[in-house]
Amino acid sequence: MNKRILIYLVMTMTWFMFTASTCVIGESFPMVVFDVTNNTSDTLVWHSDHMETLAYLDLGAQRLIPPNETKTVEYYCPEMDIHVFFSLIGYGYSPEIFISLDTIRKYGWEDVVKNNRVYQYYDLCYDDAVRIQAHTRVKDSYTLRFTVPPADYMSEVKMWPPYGYYE
């Protein structure tokens, strides 16, 4: 097995062992909510699995966002605020990767990974989350709203292609 993949798996399992016992799914616990709006004419594939590179993307972990629709994902954990959420993620960044479904169909998955054919890539950190926080839904719970392509309020978020690339 590739040494890099083995290291990733060990780190993921270690993280899971330390956090799984404290995470509980339920409406009564605080949550971090990601609301993503697809403002393109393409169906986008959204990957948000806190992995370092596109090469680690797993087709089964993706989410489809049809054109002009919003997808919401909620992460539940008791006694968690936005700072704790980002501190539990490797390097403190949450990679949010968006790829056009047509691109995957046209070039194939291997080429998409090899040539980094992403539509938009956000590398969210705690400071970015504070900037794009929409509102608080429940005590110590946060909703992060972001769009593809990026809206004006996201101009300072670390991303590729950079803000202003799309008209």
pLDDT tens track, the chain, 167 positions: 566 665 665 555 555 444 443 443 333 335 677 888 999 999 999 887 544 444 444 554 457 899 999 988 776 665 566 677 777 777 888 888 899 999 999 998 889 888 989 999 998 888 888 777 755 555 555 778 889 999 998 999 999 999 988 86
Distance CA 91, CA 87 (A): 8
Asked if residues 98 and 45 have their Cβ atoms less than 8 Å apart, the reply is: yes
Distance CA 23, CA 52 (A): 23
Q: Tell me the pTM.
A: 0.71
